[in-house]
Chains A and B, each alone.
Chain A
Amino acid sequence: MKVPRFDVTPSRAAGLVGVAVILLAPALPGVHGVQLSIFVGVIATAIAALSLDVLVGRTGQLSLAHAAFLGLGAFTTVNVGGRGAPWPIALLAGVIAAAAVATVAGLPSLRIRGLQIAIVTLALQYATEQYAFKNQTITAAAQSLDRPNLIRTDPALYFFAVALLAIALLVRRRLSVTRAGRALLAVRDIEGRANAFGIEPGPTKLLAYSISGGLVGLGGALLAFKNAPGTLTSLDPFALMRSLLLVAVVIVGGAGSGAGIIAAAFFIDGVPQLFESVGVPFTHVHLDLGTYAPLLSAGLLVAAIVLQPTGIGGVLNDQLRRLGRRREDPPSPRPRLVDLGEAPEAAAQLRDVGRGLSLSMPVRALLEAEHVTVRYGGVNALSDLNLEVRRGEIVGLIGANGAGKSTFFNAASGFAPTTGSIRYRGIDLLHNAPARRTSYGLARTFQDMGLVRAETVAENVLLAQTWLTKYPAAAGILGLGSTLRSEADVRRRAAVALELFGLDHLAKERLGDLPYGTMRIVEIASAVAAGPDLLLLDEATAGLGPEEAHALGDRFLALRNELGLTLVVIEHHVPLIARVCDYCYCLESGMLISEGTPAQVTADPKVVASFLGRAAAGSGRGRARAGK
């Protein structure tokens, strides 16, 4: 029988220690009711900061209204619970109210970015403080909310808070392993290109706001119960200063790091309260730490930014990674040369995608471009281009730099203002959004990388398959059966694609840490994992040496022969074109100057002059020498 082995990695060990400390806190010597109540407040702060980090870490946007959202959650809970509703309903109401308001607050993010968003949320914070939190009819209900029996004792309330913290962490975790979380990273880092994966930036951003709002509402509800009955009188926890403190917690903790943010919440919010008055050893002097709290957090903030821009979480990750590395040799940063004998199996697994389009549609060519013109400013990047790509062909697109090759890919995939017509299986693509074209079976790579460098190789391959995972974000976070199956499916596909390109040993490496040539192959593997019928590859071999380029050529042939893909490749590597292409088009200054078999095109004097240059003669020399 197979015994499941639990591998104790450094990060798991650190996590277990953290959980143990949190769970055993009430039993620590010297901890009593007052401290526990402070801990509960710290946990509420941590939940709010974790929620803010969903925005900061995943979308790169800053909200200065999170204290207001926290207050909206708290007062909604108070009002619903205070009128006699059962406590779970009151809590849920707080969550929903905060989520709804945050979503509305997110609407401007569809048009503006960065600093402007921060200012809009600042205005929202101010207005909420002035008009909602100073409104007696809203705040008076605090008098009538009673703490539920279940959490009446201090330890019970503490464990309730820990449970809510666990929920917040779990939601974040689920977000990071499902489609919505990946879509958010794509919108953050490659917004203009996320569409190519079937991601719509607008709804994705609003989703981040609603999830963030829901989480902060959870923290608000916790504060409502903590202060029940009737002590939710000070509005300080919901004031602008509190919003700024939450930002500080996220920065000191490190965007994206749950553990770092919890630790930062403890240092910034908890320590000054726990040690309000500290005796200096060997003297009779007592320092009032409460007074110095702002100084302490300001100092921590400056130190964090100067010494460690990635925060506590960054330090933790570096140390844990270092510990982990000691136990194994670093992987080679290059793709392995794999035996393509198993390609047919990979093919069967990768081709299996549901598509609304009928394959049997009788068309002359898979892709037909007629009179395609792309104009930027006064310059024609493409003029009246006509070309066709038949099913099962590998078509080469060559030409000097600036000839319009990438522009044609942009036109076909929906990233350039195009006139004329580009038909794919008889459907005019120009009337369809980029995401729709992806679902029709088009996938492409970008000359300067359309992936998220800050993420791992595996995450990027999953990201490229976003259009295949159709489940709603909420279902993903709840981990419903269908989403788990969908995730398992794309993970299996990712594994197959990585293996096909000899990248499996690099799955967990950060993409940006890999050599350029390897990154490019990861992008091709990602595009293939998305299950396309037509693959547009922009300078696939850039950054590769001749032998790696040759190996990639083998992959192209396998993609065609085994997976049945049709390929259009923009390529400067002449031997590769000659070896794999069935047909070739050469562009110059946006116009077609030559077409035919690779042999015909590379012999065309116009092509030699504009594209090949001495290399044509050079490779001839090389051959002559090899023949001797």
Chain B
Amino acid sequence: MTNGEPLLRVDGLSSGYGALRVLFDVTFDVPAGEVVALMGSNGAGKTTTLKTITGQLKVLSGAVHLDGDDVTGLAPEALVRRGVVLVPEGRGMLRDLSVAQNLELGAYTVADRAQVDAAFERAYTVFPILAERREQKAGTLSGGQQQMLAIARALMSNPRLLLVDEASLGLSPVMTETAFDLIGQANRDAGVTVLIVEQNVLALDLAHRAYVLERGQVVDMAEGRAVRQMQGRLRDAYLGKAGR
């Protein structure tokens, strides 16, 4: 890796849906080995950012660099080959396939069978419930189990960069913590770089760096210890409005 060059650099990105512009000049960095949180409320443009980075939405202006290479507008499958994997909002399960088959799909780009087997081993160790239900159709899993499966599936190809869209969506508090723990664990133990998009401030517990997105623009940024202060700020802002 080139010194000082972040793994992912998003530079002046603008995009939207048809005539509707959603992102305006969004710039942020995801340094290798870090967990970066992109915080924002409903409709701030979080999912749109991920969709634009992964080539699902047309880039109107700006660029996305991976490891210094321009990957702007590259298709999702090309990004997977470069080690970028998305855990989509709403989990994106193949409901009629079994748990094991869903995991197998996550390893689609891995040619070496031994590696795939190792990935299965790892997934089942980390998520025992998935091992228990490996033959069950994914559609019959509960919401939290599906979220687990989505994360496990994303990790199957040994990605360098994991993009997580609202892992906490529809999860109980305990399950939200588990999901965040798993993401933190993947980062610490497997060295996966993570970009996590969230509105739950608990995500900042594991973030090394964080950005706040509001109405399609980056309005705040924090790094290292300052992330804790940001967590306080966001919590206060939310609670202030909520008037608890």
Contact = CB atoms under 8 A, between A and B. Distances in A.
A166 B20 CA distance: 34
Interface residues of B, number: 42
Interface stretch (B26-34, B65-73, B141-149, B150-158): B141-149
Interface stretch (A367-375, A415-423, A515-523): A515-523
Interface string B214-244: 0100000000000000001001011101111
B43 A330 contact: no
Given A542-B170, A575-B244, A613-B173, A517 B18 contact: no
Given A448-B90, A517-B42, A622-B235, A398 B172 contact: yes
A542 B169 contact: yes
A333 B23 CA distance: 13
Contacts of A618: 202
A543 B239 contact: no
Contact of B239 (A322, A448, A515, A626): A626
B79 interface: no
B185 interface: no
B11 interface: no
B98 to A, nearest CB: 13
A334 B21 CA distance: 15
Interface in A373-411: 376, 398-403, 406
Given A334-B42, A376-B140, A513-B17, A611 B47 contact: no
Contacts of A517: 41-43
Interface in A18-73: none
Contacts of A615: 173-174, 176-177, 202
A515 B43 contact: yes
Nearest to B129: A402
B174 A545 contact: no
Contacts of A406: 142-143
Contacts, number: 123
A575 B201 CA distance: 14
Given A401-B142, A546-B239, A547-B238, A611 B90 contact: no
A572 interface: yes
Contacts of A545: 41-42, 199, 238
A179 to B, nearest CB: 30
B18 A401 contact: no
A333 B43 CA distance: 6
B205 to A, nearest CB: 9
A134 interface: no
Given A398-B172, A447-B170, A330 B177 contact: no
A539 B244 CA distance: 21
Contacts of A579: 244
Contact of A548 (B17, B42, B171): B42
B80 to A, nearest CB: 24
Given A321-B18, A321-B19, A325-B19, A400 B239 contact: no
Interface in A424-460: 447-448
A515 B165 CA distance: 13
A550 interface: yes
A262 B173 CA distance: 55
A544 interface: yes
28 contacts: A321-B18, A321-B19, A330-B19, A332-B215, A333-B43, A400-B144, A400-B175, A401-B142, A401-B144, A401-B145, A513-B17, A516-B47, A516-B166, A517-B41, A518-B42, A518-B43, A545-B42, A546-B238, A546-B242, A547-B237, A548-B41, A550-B241, A572-B170, A575-B244, A611-B172, A612-B173, A613-B173, A616-B173
Given A402-B141, A615-B177, A616-B173, 18 more contacts: A325-B20, A406-B142, A406-B143, A516-B47, A516-B89, A542-B169, A544-B199, A546-B238, A547-B41, A547-B241, A574-B173, A575-B244, A611-B172, A611-B173, A612-B173, A615-B202, A618-B202, A625-B232
Instruction: List the 7 shortest-distance A-B pairs measured between CB atoms, nearest first.
Output: A401-B144, A402-B142, A517-B42, A545-B41, A613-B174, A546-B238, A550-B242
